[in-house]
Each structure stands twice: as structure tokens, then as C-alpha cells.
Amino acid sequence: MTWLKWVWRPLRWALAAVGLCCLVAGTLLAFPLSRPPELVSIHAGALAVDQSGMPNVSRFQARDGTFLAYRLYPPAGGDPQRIAILFHGSAGHSSGMNGIAKRLVADNLMVVSPDLRGHGGSGTRGDIAYDGQLDDDIQDLIAELSRQYPRARFDLLGFSLGGGFALRVATGPLAANFARLVLLAPYLGYDAPSTRSAATSARWASPDIPRITALTVLRRLGLHCCEGLPVIVYALPPGSAMHATSRYSYRLLANLSAPADLGSAFRSLKMPTTIIAGGADELMQSDKYADIVRGIEPPIEVKILPGLGHMDMLHAPAAIEAIGTAFKEE
């Protein structure tokens, strides 16, 4: 009966693999997303952003042939020497950066504010084709701008989840393109010291933890199926889906996430970096940003603005002035 042992051993592992796959598949389907109640402070903050003087949407063609949306703000002095690229936050789009863009233009920077793919007028709302596509899009955008303005240098700013993505871009293959980095109330991951716990944070997002876990297991096994499934939904008001991105797929959320090793990421930065956040941020523990970057050389500047909340970074005069100052510093 020795032959039975030889047959049973691989059969046992095959059955275990099938069982694991069934368990994962069941987890993927068994926990549907449930949208949390509207978070009023986020919606009110979005409405408070200055929308006057906002340029129309322009488009550039990414490597996959898709035309992606961005807003271009010419510099006040004409000839662009510096181009600031601004990344919006979760569920948002380029118009949320209008107040900041106008301030930087007044200081003679050209500003480009893209609708990151999966948002606004860029691609399929709430999804991308693969993890890393956003990085490819930014590389294509920089290439397009460099053709038009070959003498200009680039700066980078990211807000909230877009701040985490900006850190990823600034420490990745595109790092050499940027001369300055500004992070506004950056979301640096669910386990970052600067992220409030569920008990102390306003509820902006509802993640499907079992589904995220199952898809992460599959990815680690080299299987990338089902990554287009939605895994997080945001606390937007009813009827906002026409303008905002209410939910993200697994691969979009993964691509927007900050580097897993924050210490290594911040230590690898090659450009002057400033973190700006509000002292009354309802989503972040702003006093913890200094702890994250303490001891890093050259030092990373952290500015905490008393009394300001998360969305105040996009419109409050003190925040806009701090951003302008950060871009002036050399």
C-alpha cells in the first residue's frame, strides 16, 4: 500500500489548497461594504475651498492610451521655472486644491493639479488596472510637462491620503525629479503613530478588513485575482457619487498607500521636506509627526497650526500661508 502514501501526500496538499481558496473566496464575498454616516467636517471643508478662478480641465495621454485630467495654473510671471504638482486626498479630485494652487501661482510657480486615476475625470472611478499604475501616470505627466517646459524643476505636495502617495513617489524611482516635498496632514497608514485610533478618530472611512486580508493573502501567494473588488467606502453625503469617489478597489487603495517602512522612507528623502498639519485634526494625531521624523538628517520640518482641522489645510488662511512659506524656503 506504499503507493497510497505517495498518492495521498500530494492529494492532501491539493485539498488543503482548495480549502484555503474556498475560505478566501468566501471571505471576499461574505462581507459587503457598508457606507458610514456622512462625516460633516469633511464635506463642509470641501465646500469651503475657494473655487473662483479655477482653470478648465486639460488632458494628457498616459502610456495605456487613456486621457487623464489635470488642471494647469500658469505662473503669474509667465516663464515657468518651478512646477508644483499637487495630489488631492481620498475621495477627492483636483478642484479641492484650487485655493493652494492660486497661492502658489501668486509666487510665480506653475501649478499642475491632476485628478489621480480612479478619481474625477481620470479613468474608471474607484479603480485602476494594476498596483503601480498611478506611479506610471505621474511619470507620464512629468514627461509631458518636461517636453513643454524643459527648464522647469518640479516640486511635490500631497494632502491626506495623497500625502502618503506623495511620500511614496518622492522615495521611489521618480525621486530625482523633485526639488521639494510638502505633506499636508498626510495619512501614513492605519498603523502609523500619526493616525488616530478608531476610538479617537472621526469616522471617515469604513474598510472591509476581511476582504483586504484575503486579498493580501492571495497577493503574497502571487495571485492577483479579484483586486478590482471594492475594499473601502468613504463617509460621503448621499448623492455625492457624481462628484466624489465613494469607494476604492483593493489595487487603488494599495497604490495610494504610503511606504510600509516609514522610517526608511523618510531617511531616504533627497529633497527638503515639510509636514504641515492642524492641531485640531480629527483624523490625525498631529503631534506624532515630529516623533516619526525625529533624528532624521537633514531635519524634516514639522509645522503644527493650532486650532485647525483636517480639511482646514485646503482653505484656512493660516494653512495657505504656511504652504506658501514652505515653497519659498530654500
Q: How confident is the model over 69-91, as pLDDT tens digits?
A: 999 999 988 778 899 999 999 99
Angle among Cα 210, 211, 215 to the nearest 5 degrees reads 120
Task: Assign 21 to helix, strand or coil.
Answer: helix
What one-letter code names the amino acid at 245?
Answer: T
pLDDT tens digit sequence for 113-141: 999 999 999 999 999 999 999 999 999 99
Q: Are 273 and 167 in contact (CB under 8 A)?
A: no
Domains observed in the chain = 40-202+257-328 (3.40.50.1820)
d(CA 213, CA 254): 12
d(CA 185, CA 206): 20
Using CA atoms, how far residue 175 sits from 154, 155, 156, in Å, is: 10, 10, 10
Using CA atoms, how far residue 260 sits from 12, 191, 254, in Å, is: 36, 10, 11
Using CA atoms, how far residue 269 sits from 172, 176, 179, in Å, is: 9, 10, 10
d(CA 115, CA 121): 6
pTM above 0.95, yes or no: no
Residue 271: closest CA among 132, 164, 169: 169
What one-letter code names the amino acid at 193?
Answer: P
Task: Give, rounded to a whole angstrom, the gap between the first and last alpha carbons of the chain.
Answer: 79
Residue 250: closest CA among 215, 202, 203, 293: 215
pLDDT in tens, the chain (330 residues): 454 445 455 545 444 444 455 454 555 555 567 788 999 999 999 999 999 999 999 999 999 999 999 999 999 887 788 999 999 999 999 999 999 999 999 999 999 999 999 999 999 999 999 999 999 999 999 999 999 999 999 999 999 999 999 999 999 999 999 999 999 999 999 999 999 998 888 899 999 999 999 999 999 999 999 999 999 999 999 888 778 999 999 999 999 999 999 999 999 999 999 999 999 999 999 999 999 999 999 999 999 999 999 999 999 999 999 999 999 876
d(CA 233, CA 34): 7
